[in-house]
Amino acid sequence: MTRGVLIAIEGLDRTGKTTQTSRLLERLDKSGVDATLIKFPERTTPIGRIINTYLTDKAFELSDQSAHLLFSANRWELAEKIRNLLEDGKTVVLDRYVYSGVAYSSAKGLPFDWCLSPDLGLPKPDIVLFMKFKHEDNVTREGFGEERYEVAEFQQRVKTQFEKFQNEDNWKTIYVDNKSIEEVGELIWAEYEVVARREREALQKFTKLE
Ligand code: DGP
């Protein structure tokens, strides 16, 4: 059996990640692919509940370092589940992952490498789809909500940090400006198919060697 595909969908707040991850799940399901969606932060775990309070209650004080380590610990809470699903041949779609962890905390001024280190050892995605507005105006025009990080100026700094990953071998940028939900969905699906085909071909080669 081939290992399942691990896909992470990343991006700033309000780029449509949640809409696209659930559409991707539906399409995988219709295509007969056994897939699971995991959204980070996973707010229902013991650590996730603290993160939820941190995000929604601005009076809840936590040092930036503590907040960062909680977000990372939240990913580690789910790491074994992700690994087991992949080993069972299931595809796993992540709505945010390590890259959000590093981008949001380093945007606050914490050192980039320090931010990355607690996540080292987590399952590496086969592909990271970074949803992004090409034109900055589209970020600031979007109305942000009430949560802690939903401030346009901060989002710009997060974007700069995210872009430091753009030369990673598993990184693909999806531009969302002026595209319909369906058009963005097609771009994401095309990227998924490339990775899924690569996994199948790798398995065939391996089988031939046996
Ligand atoms: P979401 O549920 O996707 O809207 O995320 C909630 C907020 O938390 C959002 O502003 C992005 C931020 N966030 C997500 N993951 C992390 C992380 O690992 N570290 C930090 N510092 N912030 C994160």
**Mean pLDDT value of segment 34-58:** 97
Whether pLDDT at 32 is above 80: yes
- Three-state SS string over the chain comes to CCCCCEEEEEECCCCCHHHHHHHHHHHHHHCCCCEEEEECCCCCCHHHHHHHHHHHCCCCCCCHHHHHHHHHHHHHHHHHHHHHHHHCCCEEEEECCHHHHHHHHHHCCCCHHHHHHHHCCCCCCCEEEEEECCCHHHHHHCCCCCCCCCCHHHHHHHHHHHHHHCCCCCEEEEECCCCCHHHHHHHHHHHHHHHHHHHHHHHHHHHHHC
Query: Which mutation among 15, 71, 119, 131 tests ligand 1's pocket best, with the greatest number of atoms within 8 A of CB?
Result: 71
**Mean pLDDT value of segment 71-79:** 98
Task: List the residue whose alpha carbon is closest to atom 19 of ligand 1.
Answer: 101
> Cβ(54) to ligand 1 under 6 A?
no
- Confidence grade of residue 139 (pLDDT, cut at 50, 70, 90): low
**Mean pLDDT value of segment 171-190:** 96
For the entire predicted model, the pTM comes to 0.93
Enumerate domains of the chain plus CATH numbers: 6-200 (3.40.50.300)
**Mean pLDDT value of segment 55-65:** 95
- Confidence grade of residue 90 (pLDDT, cut at 50, 70, 90): very high
Whether pLDDT at 115 is above 80: yes
Whether pLDDT at 210 is above 70: no
**Mean pLDDT value of segment 136-143:** 56
**Mean pLDDT value of segment 38-58:** 97
Whether pLDDT at 191 is above 60: yes
Task: List the residue whose alpha carbon is closest to atom 22 of ligand 1.
Answer: 104
When the pLDDT of each residue in the chain is averaged and rounded to a whole number, the result is 92
